Amino acid sequence: MKKILVVDDSSVQRKMIIQIIRKAGFQHEIMEAGDGLEAIGVLGENFEDIGIVLCDWNMPNMNGLEFVEGVAQVPAVAAVPVVMVTTEGTADKIAQAKAANPNMKGYVIKPFTPEQLKEAIAPILGMS
Ligand SMILES: [Mg+2]
């Protein structure tokens, strides 16, 4: 079973997101990163195992948009699907991120329910 990488600068947010992942019924192993830069490192070392990245937008060092742009430029990891988890729910920002990385497969707007998360990620993990 593939792993899920949760990227958020707030450890409290990461815990909440992980709780919601569990409540939604996903039993995948979960990895964590505190910003986009750390996530690039984790992804680089584990890209064969990671089936999806749930990525926050606002983070220090490397934000979510910079992260998806970075991922798109590295062939080894460019195919790993990224779902943005964000309060930045404007159509403009989402279109911007999708343009930057065709592997940005969707988004969920905070706060979200286990059902909303499931809808966004189950098809990507081949579980719909
Ligand atoms: Mg944040």
Return the domain boundaries, the chain. Answer: 3-121
User: Over the stretch 47-59, which tens digit does the pLDDT of each residue have?
Assistant: 999 999 999 999 9
How far apart are the CA of 10 and the centre of ligand 1, in A?
A: 6
Ion ligand 1 nearby residues (CB, 5 A): 9, 56, 58-59
Burial 57-88 (b: 16+ CB within 10 A, else e): bebeebbbbbbbbbbbeeeebeebbbbbbbeb
Question: Could you tell me which CATH number the domain at 3-121 has?
Answer: 3.40.50.2300
pLDDT tens readout for residues 58-110: 999 999 989 998 998 888 888 899 999 988 767 787 787 778 777 788 889 88
Between the CA of 72 and the centroid of ligand 1 the distance, in Å, is 21
Distance between Cα 52 and ligand 1 center (Å): 18
128 band by pLDDT with thresholds 50, 70 and 90: low
